[in-house]
Amino acid sequence: MRLRHKPGAADQIRQYPQYVILNPQDSKGKWQSVFEKEQPIHIEVGTGRGRFIVEMAKANPHINYIGIEKYTSVISDALDKLIEAEVPNLKLLNVDAQKLTDFFEDGEIDRVYLNFSDPWPKVRHEKRRLTHKTFLSMYQQIMNKDGEIHFKTDNQELFEFSIMSIANYGMTIHFLSLDLHNSEFEGNIMTEYEEKFSSKGNRIYRIEAAYRK
Ligand code: SAM
């Protein structure tokens, strides 16, 4: 992600504590009470500029969503979209996903979305990939036993690594597409990166995987 400095981003985030939860560790084990309705919680790790999570929240009022993004200048764009959409079932966290277990209690989450995660192509950076086994283990801890990971990317190397990592972890892959936009899959909501890379002709890969057998 190319970062640009966005003056006032940190101040803006502090002005909307109803949308960007400022001390998420205080909500650990209590996320249902942060939302208007008690319903399943789906998180997106690496939300970026927020189009996916805002559109998902609008389309699925029966789900509570949490978008997680580590860069303030980036999540500020997601906040702009949330302010406009005014949906009650979406919150944003400006935190690093490496600390997910500080913010969520065991079994508190129902699904993790990973969209166009940073590929970290160098082998020595493998552990930073969001589908590395250390992340899969963290997601498993915070998800209930029926928890699922839904992952899409245009990066073939990251996709292959992720399939191996997910399969080696013992998860079950129950959906796989090597060309999502030319598949039967219905209701795809595009992310900012997805629009950019698919318009260049890149194929989009997608998997859904579950921890249950
Ligand atoms: N999902 C968006 C999309 O598809 O348009 C953004 C994709 S961008 C390539 C990856 C995003 O993940 C970046 O905004 C980056 O800051 C964020 N990210 C990467 N690692 C993260 C981490 N450990 N915790 C939180 N956000 C992370």
Domain ranges of the chain: 24-210
Return d(Cα 197, Cα 152) in angstroms, integer. 12
Task: Return the ligand 1 atom nearest residue 96 CA.
Answer: 24
Q: Which residue is closest in CA terms to ligand 1's atom 15?
A: 46
Pairing of strands 41-45, 205-210: unpaired
Return d(Cα 49, Cα 37) in angstroms, integer. 25
Q: Residues at the annotated binding site?
A: 44, 69, 96, 118, 122, 154, 191-194
| 14 CA to centre of own chain | 22
Per-residue pLDDT of the chain (213 residues; tens, 9 = 90+): 556 678 899 999 999 999 999 999 999 999 999 999 999 999 999 999 999 999 999 999 999 999 999 999 999 999 999 999 999 999 999 999 999 999 999 999 999 999 999 999 999 999 999 999 999 999 999 999 999 999 999 999 999 999 999 999 999 999 999 999 999 999 999 999 999 999 999 999 999 999 987
Q: Which helix (H) or strand (E) holds 140?
A: helix 133-142
21 Cα–ligand 1 center, Å: 18
Q: Tokens at residue 182, please?
A: 């030319």
Residue 154 CB–ligand 1 contact under 6 Å: no
CA distances from 92 to 22, 154, 185 (A): 9, 25, 27
Return d(Cα 112, Cα 65) in angstroms, integer. 10
Q: Residues at the annotated binding site for substrate?
A: 122, 154, 191-194
As beta bridge partners, residue 91 has 66
What CATH architecture is 24-210? 3-Layer(aba) Sandwich (3.40)
Return d(Cα 150, Cα 206) in angstroms, integer. 7
Question: For the whole model, what pTM was predicted?
Answer: 0.97
Residue 113 CB–ligand 1 contact under 6 Å: no
Q: Tokens at residue 16, please?
A: 């909307």
Residue 193 CB–ligand 1 contact under 6 Å: yes
Q: Which residues of 130-160 are buried (b: 16+ CB within 10 A; e: fewer)?
A: bbbeebbebbbbbbbeebbbbbbbbbeebbe
- Marked catalytic residue, from 77, 80, 102, 118: 118
Q: Is 84 exposed, middle or buried (0-12, 13-18, 19+ CB in 10 A)?
A: exposed
**Catalytic site residue 118?**
yes
Residue 190 CB–ligand 1 contact under 6 Å: no
Q: Which residue is closest in CA terms to ligand 1's atom 19?
A: 46
